[in-house]
Structure 1
Amino acid sequence: MFSTSCPQCGAPLEFRSAAAVMAVCGSCRSTLLKHGEAVERLGEMASVFEDYSPLQLGATGRYQTRTFTLLGRIQLRYDAGYWSEWYASFDDGTFGWLSDASGQYAVTTQRVPDASELAALPRFDSLSPGTPFEFEGKRYLASDIRTAQCVGGEGELPFRVGEGWQARVADFRYEDRFITLDYADADQQNGQPTVYSGESVELADLACQGLRDEAQIRETAGRYRGELKAFGCPSCGASLDCPVGVADYVICGSCHAGVDCSAEQATLFSKKRTLETIETALPLGASATFDGAKYTVLGLMRCRTPDGEYSWDEYLLHNLDRGFLWQVHSEGRWERVDVLNRWPMMSQRGQVLDDGKTYRESERYESEVIYVAGAFNWRVQVGDRTSITDFAWRDFKMTREESSNEIVWSSAKPLSNSKVADRFGMPELKGGAAKPSKQAKPASKAAKAGNGKSSKSGHATVGFGPWPWIATFLMAFVNFGRLFEFDGSTVLVIIGIVALWAPEWIWRAFHEESR
């Protein structure tokens, strides 16, 4: 540990990590670069804005077999949101990063590629979502490509960060594994990025100690996470509410301007526009119980195919402890949709393999947002487009959604009208006649996603399809003569046919019950 004092204000300063090269003074916000036994003041770092994260400096945890301590962080903002990278110092002297993006976490540590891997590292400007990258015998796919600005920091950091510092990063995914290529210093490294590898994690699995509780968060933020913050729309002056620390982007219901509420002063990210008022099955603020937890509708979107032939409604729901999920309403049918932290596997035939199930491609299409209202955890606006591919297995679906800079996978399962009506306490939804849209999309279509966002749609009950009929026909054909002997052989054939249909009947009975 290296101890000194801030040359600007005299406050005591400690470097607990041998890998740290700079620190931010907690008193005057000076950025201090370490030179041996001395420090040089470079300027000032903006304070991190309150993001209601339970993480804080000094918190400890365990990743795999090693313990770590959080010694610093930087906040990064890109065109549609922001995230934090926490500098984690491990007990063996190495360091890594704990990424926190809307409550989704990943741990990565630096890796040194061998000669062949180094030669295969791609250039940043050659990357797009879906670009493959072979690393350590696994074929990763580019999931997220961002250029972001550092907007705040605190504590110790292993590299020099200053005003206007820009991060160029590309994330690659293989199931729950992560590869991050960091191009921030590529110009000084012959165009080569720094490589970090790791995996997505649940915060509870890290056995963290010293996290902030709700009382501590309220003390620093002045209000509870999720509490509504009232403010006036910068465009038309209408009164708006933002659930602080949950969703920082609000679409005004009066003028449909997009408002960024992440800073103390609300600012516009999209201009006001005139849109026809629409009726939706669920209103903003409606609540329902899923998995024993109460969720509230924060935002809603209407999407359609670009040709205008089909449209559907999507609802963003949130619970403070569980996070986000989606409800999609299409042609009188409902689906619950969850974003996947762990990507499914793709076979060489283009099928999706997950949990022993094989999902086959059912449809490809484009989605366009034509109406949006309420609060969201990313910057959404009318005109946003996404390319979607649906993969189906029985009544369930996996959906791959691709925009210009990211890919998101989600899973969907159907819910009956009566189940949705009961959960929201809205009996009028049981008949499925609530007005979902002027035009409904086919049951096999889905919807838009993004960072912490998802894809969704309706799907008819299909069971085992034609296979029981085909097997019954073949058994009857092979044993045609025995069917009319009316003896033990006839009974065996009948038992065989019943056995063929038993899985179908059991499946349908279970399916209807689960809906």
Structure 2
Amino acid sequence: MFSTSCPQCGAPLEFRSAAAVIAVCESCRSTLLKRGEAVERIGEMASVFEDYSPLQLGATGHHENGSFTLLGRIQLRYDVGYWTEWYAEFDDGAFAWLSDASGQYAITTQKELEAQDSALPRFDSLSPGVPFDFRGKRYLAADIRIAQCVGGEGELPFRLGDGWQARVADFRYEDRFITLDYSDADSPDGKPVVYEGESVELAALACQGLRDEAQIRESAGRYRGELAAFTCPSCGASLDCPAGVANYVICGSCHAGVDCSAEQATLFSKRRSVEAVETALQLSASATFDGAKYTVLGLMRCRTSDAQYSWDEYLLHNLERGFLWLVHSAGSWERVDVLNRWPMMSREGHVLDAGKTYRENERYDAEVMYVAGAFNWRVQVGDKTSITDFTWRDFKMTREATADEIVWSRAKPLSNSKVAERFGVPELATDNASRRVNETAGAASDDKWYLSRGFGPWPWIATGLMVFINFNKLFDFDSSTVLVIVGLIALWVPEWIWRSFHGQPNTSRDGASRSKR
């Protein structure tokens, strides 16, 4: 441990980490560079904004075979959101980064490349899905960002100051995680630093010294999730934002986008004229899933690029469980969970997950045409995403890709009666709400949805009649039995052929990019 005093204000200063070269003075926010037995002031670090994280400086945890202590952090903002990187030092002097992005965590440590590893790609050559071979595994680029440091505190292992940019690319293989950090342009070989680790649950790190709700409220002025009322900077309408949960709000009156992450709400998109839509669920509606109460924070209507299909997406949140999505499409409901553990892809292009093989069903481009409420990333009308759906029976895996990231999600169907029961809205048990949504999407969408389902109930009706009429002859195993079997084949072969060319029965869609960084 190295102890000194701040040359700006004289406050006591300690470097607990031997690897740390920067410390931020708690008293005057000076950024101090360690030079041997002295420190030099090189600027001033902006204060971190309140993110309601349970993590704090001095908290400890355990990962793999070692214990660590959180000694510093930086907050990074990019075009549609932000995340936090915590500097953690292990008992043996090694250090790691613990990233926190909307309550999803990953821990990584620096690694040296070996002979069998792939050559390091250039940052400007990367795009989502590009492979990177490392230690016998083929990782795929998941997230490519240029972000700016907007605040920091504690100790840090590298030099940074005003305007410092992080240029990073994240790669995934199941729950394994690799970050290529291109931020240090002044390195001797100009190559990125490689960090390897995994996605983790905070509970698995057995952390001690975390902030409780009372401490968070004391520093933030309110509880996490508590609605903070403010007025829209564009039109003056009254808005609510769930503190520390979803910092980007779309005004329901003028449809301007408002950033609520700082003390002063600011616009990230101007007011616009958007045709009102009627949705089956309303903002602030609540329902119970997995024994926990979730509340609808935001809603979107999306459509395909050819404007033939549209569907509604609802962002729900529970303080302890996090986020989940409901998708309402063509009269059907799905529950959608964003995956922190990526599925595997077979050589044939199928998705392998939990012993199931999902086959590609459909590809399309999605566009946001209406949005309202609060979100954990910046979303606005006109946002576009490329979608690939893979299906197994009535279940679906979806790959959503933008120019900067890939997100995987898993969907499972929910019956109308279940949705109605969980939200306490009996009307949802009927098709009335679905019909209203489909009417606003246009008749062409309904027709194509019906056609993609095949021939509807007619093969079933004809099968039932044929079996009923010939029931007494079915078990004689004579020419009548053969005729019934031939008739059934004649009924169902066209249905199977139709579905082979026009898609699987599961045609519900979801397609707004759910940023995870």
- Which bracket does the TM-score occupy, shorter chain normalised? 0.7 to 0.9
Alignment-derived partner of residue 487 in structure 1 = none
Contact 1:301 1:372 in 2 (8 A): yes
Contact 2:116 2:135 in 1 (8 A): no
Does residue 415 of the first structure (1) align with residue 417 of the second (2)? no
Which stretch shows the higher mean deviation, 52-61 or 34-43?
34-43
Contact 1:331 1:443 in 2 (8 A): no
Alignment-derived partner of residue 335 in structure 1 = 334
Q: Distance in 1 between matches of 2:246 and 2:15?
A: 35
Measure how far apart 1:115 and its partner are.
4.4
Alignment-derived partner of residue 110 in structure 1 = 110
Contact 1:414 1:459 in 2 (8 A): no
Q: Distance in 1 between matches of 2:188 and 2:235?
A: 49
Q: Distance in 2 between matches of 1:340 and 1:15?
A: 38
Alignment-derived partner of residue 454 in structure 1 = none
Which stretch shows the higher mean deviation, 245-254 or 187-196?
187-196
Q: Distance in 2 between matches of 1:143 and 1:208?
A: 28
Change in CA separation of 1:234 and 1:459 when aligned onto 2, cut-off 3 Å: farther
Alignment-derived partner of residue 250 in structure 2 = 251
Does residue 143 of the first structure (1) align with residue 145 of the second (2)? no
Q: Which amino acid in the other structure matches residue 234 of structure 1?
A: P
Measure how far apart 1:432 and its partner are.
2.3
Measure how far apart 1:459 and its partner are.
9.7
Q: Distance in 2 between matches of 1:483 and 1:59?
A: 76
Q: Distance in 2 between matches of 1:77 and 1:295?
A: 28
Measure how far apart 1:8 and its partner are.
1.0
Change in CA separation of 1:316 and 1:481 when aligned onto 2, cut-off 3 Å: closer
Does residue 270 of the first structure (1) align with residue 272 of the second (2)? no
Alignment-derived partner of residue 404 in structure 2 = 405
**For each residue in 1:23-53, what CA deviation from the matched residue of structure 2 results, as whole angstroms up to 9, or x when unmatched?**
0011111111111111111111000000000
Alignment-derived partner of residue 99 in structure 2 = 99
Q: Distance in 1 between matches of 2:65 and 2:163?
A: 37
Contact 1:289 1:424 in 2 (8 A): yes
Measure how far apart 1:274 and its partner are.
0.5
Measure how far apart 1:188 and its partner are.
2.5
Measure how far apart 1:442 and its partner are.
7.8
Alignment-derived partner of residue 33 in structure 1 = 33
TM-score, normalising length from structure 1? 0.86
Q: Please give the residue correspondences for 1:495-510 in structure 2 after superposition, counting only pairs within 5 Å.
A: none
**For each residue in 1:415-440, what CA deviation from the matched residue of structure 2 results, as whole angstroms up to 9, or x when unmatched?**
00000000000000000220234227
Q: Please give the residue correspondences for 1:40-189 in structure 2 after superposition, counting only pairs within 5 Å.
A: 40-115=40-115, 117=117, 120-189=119-188
Q: Distance in 2 between matches of 1:444 and 1:138?
A: 42
Q: Distance in 2 between matches of 1:330 and 1:375?
A: 21
Alignment-derived partner of residue 450 in structure 1 = none
Change in CA separation of 1:110 and 1:442 when aligned onto 2, cut-off 3 Å: farther
Alignment-derived partner of residue 436 in structure 1 = 437
Measure how far apart 1:192 and its partner are.
0.7
TM-score, normalising length from structure 2? 0.85
Change in CA separation of 1:15 and 1:314 when aligned onto 2, cut-off 3 Å: same
Q: Which amino acid in the other structure matches residue 441 of structure 2?
A: Q
Alignment-derived partner of residue 352 in structure 1 = 351
Q: Which amino acid in the other structure matches residue 42 of structure 1?
A: I
| Residue aligned with 2:92, SS | coil
Q: Distance in 2 between matches of 1:436 and 1:332?
A: 8
Contact 1:366 1:387 in 2 (8 A): yes
Contact 1:443 1:459 in 2 (8 A): no
**For each residue in 1:93-147, what CA deviation from the matched residue of structure 2 results, as whole angstroms up to 9, or x when unmatched?**
1000000000000000000112453x71000000000000011110000000000
| Residue aligned with 1:125, SS | helix
Alignment-derived partner of residue 476 in structure 1 = none
Q: Please give the residue correspondences for 1:382-401 in structure 2 after superposition, counting only pairs within 5 Å.
A: 382-401=381-400
Q: Which amino acid in the other structure matches residue 89 of structure 1?
A: E
Alignment-derived partner of residue 503 in structure 1 = none
Identity of aligned residues (%): 78
* CA root-mean-square deviation: 2.2
Q: Distance in 2 between matches of 1:137 and 1:116?
A: 8
Q: Which amino acid in the other structure matches residue 65 of structure 2?
A: T
What runs of 5+ residues in structure 1 fail to find an aligned partner? 446-457, 470-479, 485-515
What runs of 5+ residues in structure 2 fail to find an aligned partner? 464-473, 479-517
Contact 1:15 1:23 in 2 (8 A): yes
Alignment-derived partner of residue 512 in structure 1 = none
| Residue aligned with 1:34, SS | strand
Q: Distance in 1 between matches of 2:384 and 2:215?
A: 40
Contact 1:169 1:183 in 2 (8 A): yes
**For each residue in 1:184-207, what CA deviation from the matched residue of structure 2 results, as whole angstroms up to 9, or x when unmatched?**
013434331000000000000000
Q: Distance in 1 between matches of 2:126 and 2:453?
A: 34
Alignment-derived partner of residue 209 in structure 1 = 208
Alignment-derived partner of residue 298 in structure 2 = 299
**For each residue in 1:300-359, what CA deviation from the matched residue of structure 2 results, as whole angstroms up to 9, or x when unmatched?**
000001111100000000000000000000111100000000000000000000110000
Q: Distance in 1 between matches of 2:453 and 2:240?
A: 34
Q: Distance in 2 between matches of 1:331 and 1:116?
A: 50
| Residue aligned with 2:437, SS | coil
| Residue aligned with 2:441, SS | coil
Alignment-derived partner of residue 279 in structure 1 = 278
Q: Distance in 1 between matches of 2:14 and 2:369?
A: 53
Which stretch shows the higher mean deviation, 190-199 or 294-303?
190-199
Alignment-derived partner of residue 12 in structure 2 = 12
Measure how far apart 1:64 and its partner are.
0.8
Q: Which amino acid in the other structure matches residue 158 of structure 1?
A: P
Change in CA separation of 1:329 and 1:29 when aligned onto 2, cut-off 3 Å: same
Q: Distance in 1 between matches of 2:191 and 2:143?
A: 18
Alignment-derived partner of residue 365 in structure 1 = 364
**Runs of 4+ that moved beyond 3 A:** 440-445, 480-484
Q: Which amino acid in the other structure matches residue 53 of structure 1?
A: S
Q: Distance in 2 between matches of 1:379 and 1:67?
A: 36
Q: Which amino acid in the other structure matches residue 436 of structure 1?
A: V
Q: Distance in 1 between matches of 2:112 and 2:255?
A: 49
Q: Distance in 2 between matches of 1:198 and 1:271?
A: 40
Contact 1:362 1:444 in 2 (8 A): no
Alignment-derived partner of residue 489 in structure 2 = none
